[in-house]
Structure 1
Amino acid sequence: MMLKTTLSIVLALWLSLYAPVTIESDKARWKPYYTAIDPAAVVDGWSLPFDVANRKDIKQIRVVSIFGDHRDSYYKGHIHTAIDINPSKPKTKLVSVYAMAKGVVCSIHLGENQKTVVVKHKQSNGTMLFSSYKHLKEVYVVNGQQVNASTKLARLFTPEESKKYGGDYHHLHLEIRKSFDDYGCASWLTMNKQQLDLRFYDPLAFLKSNLK
């Protein structure tokens, strides 16, 4: 009996140390960053997240990396849940990131070099979706803040700042999310197409359909 108990303890310890991290096992760690609040206004249009000549023109952005690629940047084999983008012609060295539409800031992760802001949006049909902005150097908003397309959320890393942290962070990792039930961890823990389709839209396709 003692041997069986000891083996159970060893197995539980091994699982806690070496079991693969999953969305379900990791999401509680990120829940404290989330604020459960609804947008005060309904979305009445979408814009690109940069200060460019025409925020309705998809040609104003340059796509660095596409949605759905298999990646090894954090967990080997995870699927890219976003598009990585930059302005085609940045106006300044410090590239600002703006909200894409009316909504409310519902999550900010400030505990890492690469900060994240998530905005919750209410669509005209009453459903919610989320725009998530990653690889941010500085954040200018707070949780619970109502925003619109004129609200400056943050700024990106410069190439020099990115090199300082040993990465390639000088672009915006832009997600369009169907839900935020994972509190953000699905961004790096999505490992199959089913998980991808459950929570994410292709941001490039979304922009092409909604920049009107």
Structure 2
Amino acid sequence: MPTEKLLCEKFGVSRAVIREAISRLKADGCVTTRQGSGAYVAARPGQGSFRLLHGPSPSATIPTDEISNVFELRCLVETGAAERAALRRTPADLARMREALARMDDALATESDAVGDDDAFHVAIAAATHNPHIERFQAFMGRQFSDSRAPTWSGEGHRSGRVRQAQAEHARIFDAIACGDADAARTAAQTHLVCAARRLGLDPLRWGNERLEWAP
């Protein structure tokens, strides 16, 4: 790519603007940078990284369709992880999940935010699969999934009862995993995601899976 100086002259902007643009292109996997050499168009643009789209800026309103797509992705990832965790969990894995649940219980009692603990609970489930790729994927995507959990742990989420409902669903997922019941764990995880989506006014049936119809 042209040097920062040439790009500044061409577009009439400061170096800070050019550097921010290149940083975003790099985050999207469209360019690579080499120390002392400059920026280069990636050989396979967009395939070197993955992130969920949240609009043109962090403060932008996320479209409803995009939130629904996030929940569909969460359903695919988290139901499979719960199922395998039930088959492979160890006492240490259960202790890790139990600790995250306890922190969320405290947040429920004090009406405080526990998005991070919610993330930690789901990462603990992924870790219990003892497949490092599943755990790493869940940890990476946890930063993306956090936005979809935030409304539950907001002040409105506490006042409306969303937090209490979600925590009861978390407990059912944990109980199924602790009992080693893979089918129940998968069902509990699916029910949690379907109910969470509906609490936010989304329609899980648009995911195209008729088996979701039974979920309360």
Query: When the two structures are superposed, what TM-score results if normalisation uses the length of structure 1?
Result: 0.29
- Flag the structure with larger Rg: 2
The structure in which a higher percent of residues are strand is 1
Relative contact order: is structure 1 or structure 2 higher (C-alpha 8 Å, sep ≥ 6)? 1
Higher helix share: 2
